[in-house]
Amino acid sequence: MKKLNFEPVITAEKEATLRQEVREFLAGYGAFKASDVIDSWSVCDPEFSRAIAAKGWLGMTWPTEYGGGGKSYLERYVVIEELLAAGAPVGAHWVADRQSGPLLLRFGTEEQRQAFLPKVVKGECFFAIGMSEPNSGSDLASIKTKAEKVDGGWIVNGSKIWTSWAHACHQMITLVRTAPPSDNRHAGLSQFIVDLNAEGMTVRPIVTLAGEKHFNEIFFDNVFVPDNRVVGNLNEGWSQVMAELAFERSGPERFLSSYQLLEASIKEIRQAGLSKQSSKVIGEFVARLMVLRQMSLSVANQLQEGKLPINEASVVKDLGTSFEQELPEAMRLILDIEPRSSAEDGVERMLSDAILKAPSFSLRGGTREILRGIIARGLGLR
Ligand SMILES: Cc1cc2nc3c(=O)[nH]c(=O)nc-3n(C[C@H](O)[C@H](O)[C@H](O)COP(=O)(O)OP(=O)(O)OC[C@H]3O[C@@H](n4cnc5c(N)ncnc54)[C@H](O)[C@@H]3O)c2cc1C
């Protein structure tokens, strides 16, 4: 059986100084609204994203020739960990910084990098992910949105669904079928950069369980995409998507979405007087959090070394989302507080948001069952 690689990582002085800098920057903002801090990487605030950009914290690991910071993955880890732990509204730039930019660096043309990366780094261009379709979620290879070759480009028809923040983004990396299905169902797929304001595009928000307009349905009606917006190799989109998902699955957002709830609950419990049961529950969650953090750091370090730790990233996401889903119920049982979605502030509101949002944690970015299938295959068990 193959083994998972989670070499321990110890961050250095350089990262500690950076962490302090991020904390000082965040202190200037004070506490964020309780209604925004749960799953804050799904809270879109372009102005905040531009403030982060001005600090040099977007595209941190990208080469300086594209406006990037030329920093290490560990330095980026420190910045995003602090932002997420504070519940900062980082949703607007999240996808572009986490995966679309790295995808273009890996597979994009020089013209595409020059056209998009400097704008992403300045917080002026946000990307959405156009993978899922109404009948193609886990079974992504079955997508039906297709592109037909015309002079100078492609005509796209079809639809996408659950597209986070497409209504606030500028571009979308879109998976389309560019060749008819064959025996190899992963062949014939390609990734396009699609302008979300192009003629023929309709973006329609879907209201979530928590009452938010977070994700969308998207319809393509004869949308023209020029040849220079094809990413990487035509018909080889599947392997590119798999590489992209390694960036999507391993970060601290997979276990810090409800961190503010944990912190606020600890304060409440301290004030009410710590019982043996509550200390046990809190102790268990903090211990799990520390392990997840080390695992995620280890993945960041492997990305720094140019590796593609797809298996390890899947393990972090699977364990991380289980942690996040169990946390609200565990806190509800030890807090003497009712969750209240109408509350403007405080732990009642956080608890209510965390309960409403938790089911989605193990769906987005690949469901629990799909991840476990990937891990089993990676370990040679299936
Ligand atoms: C908050 C949120 C944001 C999202 N944002 C985006 C986005 O920006 N862009 C985008 O493209 N998509 C996005 N998605 C969609 C997400 O990727 C899909 O929901 C996910 O891939 C699952 O697909 P599905 O919803 O069609 O469920 P299905 O694939 O229909 O799965 C339903 C259930 O069946 C199980 N199942 C399916 N196949 C198997 C199998 N082979 N073996 C065992 N069990 C199986 C699944 O695990 C799941 O429990 C988002 C989803 C959420 C919840």
Does ligand 1 have an atom closer than 6 angstroms to the CB of 367? yes
Q: Of the candidates 205, 236, 267, which is a domain's last residue?
A: 236
**Is the residue at 163 inside a domain?**
yes
Q: Does 134 lie in the same domain as 88?
A: no
Residue whose CA lies nearest to ligand 1 atom number 45? 369
**Burial grade of 144 (CB within 10 A; 0-12, 13-18, 19 or more):** middle
CB of 364 sitting under 6 A from ligand 1: yes
Candidates 103, 138, 375: which one to mutate for ligand 1, based on the most atoms within 8 Å of Cβ? 138
Number of structural domains found in the chain: 3
Instruction: Kindly write down the DSSP assignment for every residue of 25-85, as one continuous string.
Output: HHHTT-SPPHHHHTTGGG---HHHHHHHHHTT-SSTTS-GGGT-----HHHHHHHHHHHHH
> Are the C-beta atoms of residues 194 and 225 closer than 8 Å to each other?
yes
Instruction: Tell me if 7 is assigned to some domain.
Output: no
Residues 267 and 210 in one domain: no
DSSP bridge partners of 146: 157, 177
Listed in order, strand segments (DSSP E) in the chain are 127-130, 146-150, 153-161, 171-177, 189-195, 201-207, 213-226, 230-231
145 lines ligand 1 (CB under 6 A): no
Task: Assess whether the C-beta atom of 210 lies below 6 angstroms from ligand 1.
Answer: no
Are residues 282 and 226 located together in one domain of the fold? Answer: no
User: 3-state class of 259 per DSSP?
Assistant: helix
User: Rounded distance, CA 201 to CA 216, Å?
Assistant: 12
CB atoms within 10 A of CB 297: 25
Domain co-membership, 91 together with 179: no
**Residue 323 in contact with ligand 1 by CB distance below 6 A:** no
Determine the structural domain holding residue 86 and report its residue range.
13-126
183/91 same-domain check: no
Q: Is the CB of 317 under 6 A from ligand 1?
A: no
Q: Does residue 138 share a domain with residue 31? A: no
151 in any annotated domain = yes
Q: Ligand 1, from 126, 367, 374: best to mutate by most atoms within 8 Å of Cβ?
A: 367
Burial of residue 143, with CB atoms counted within 10 A of its CB: 0-12 exposed, 13-18 middle, 19 or more buried: buried
- Out of 86, 101, 126, pick the residue that ends a domain: 126
The C-alpha atoms of residue 59 and residue 265 are separated, in whole angstroms, by 34
CATH number at residue 85: 1.10.540.10
d(CA 204, CA 213) in angstroms, rounded, equals: 10
In a domain, 4, yes or no: no
Q: From CA 248, how far away is CA 183, in angstroms rounded?
A: 28
Domain match, 215 and 304 both: no
Alpha helices in 86-214 (DSSP H): 91-95, 101-107, 110-121
Q: Which atom of ligand 1 is nearest the CA belonging to 42?
A: 1
Number of neighbours of residue 18 by Cβ within 10 angstroms: 21
Give per-residue burial for 125-134: e unless 16+ CB within 10 Å, then b: bbbbbbbbbe
Q: Are 303 and 247 in contact (CB under 8 A)?
A: yes
Q: Whose CA is nearest to atom 52 of ligand 1?
A: 364
> Do 119 and 150 share a domain, yes or no?
no
Tell me if 275 sits within 8 A of 342, measured CB to CB.
Answer: no
CATH of the domain at 366: 1.20.140.10
| Same domain membership, residue 190 and residue 103 | no
Q: Note whether 251 and 320 are same-domain residues.
A: yes
Query: Is 147 within a domain?
Result: yes
Same domain, 281 and 216: no
**Position 1 in a domain:** no
| pLDDT tens by residue, the chain, 382 residues | 788 999 999 888 888 999 999 999 999 998 899 999 999 999 999 999 999 999 999 999 999 999 999 999 999 999 999 999 999 999 999 999 999 999 999 999 999 999 999 999 999 999 999 999 999 999 999 999 999 999 999 999 999 999 999 999 999 999 999 999 999 999 999 999 999 999 999 999 999 877 888 899 999 999 999 999 999 999 999 999 988 777 788 799 999 999 999 999 999 999 988 888 999 999 999 999 999 999 999 998 998 888 888 899 999 999 999 999 999 999 999 998 889 998 888 999 999 999 999 999 999 989 999 999 999 999 999 8
Q: Which residue has the tokens 């014939």?
A: 188
Tell me, yes or no, whether 3 lies in a domain: no
Q: Give a yes or no: residue 358 inside a domain.
A: yes
Domain final residue, candidates 66, 91, 126: 126
- Do 118 and 157 lie in one domain? The reply is no
Rounded-to-integer distance, Cα 74 and Cα 296, Å: 10
Integer angstrom CA distances of residue 67 from 54, 107, 119, 178: 12, 18, 8, 32
358 ligand 1 Cβ < 6 A: no
Q: State which H helix or E strand residue 19 sits in.
A: helix 13-27
How many angstroms separate the alpha carbon of residue 138 from the centre of ligand 1?
5
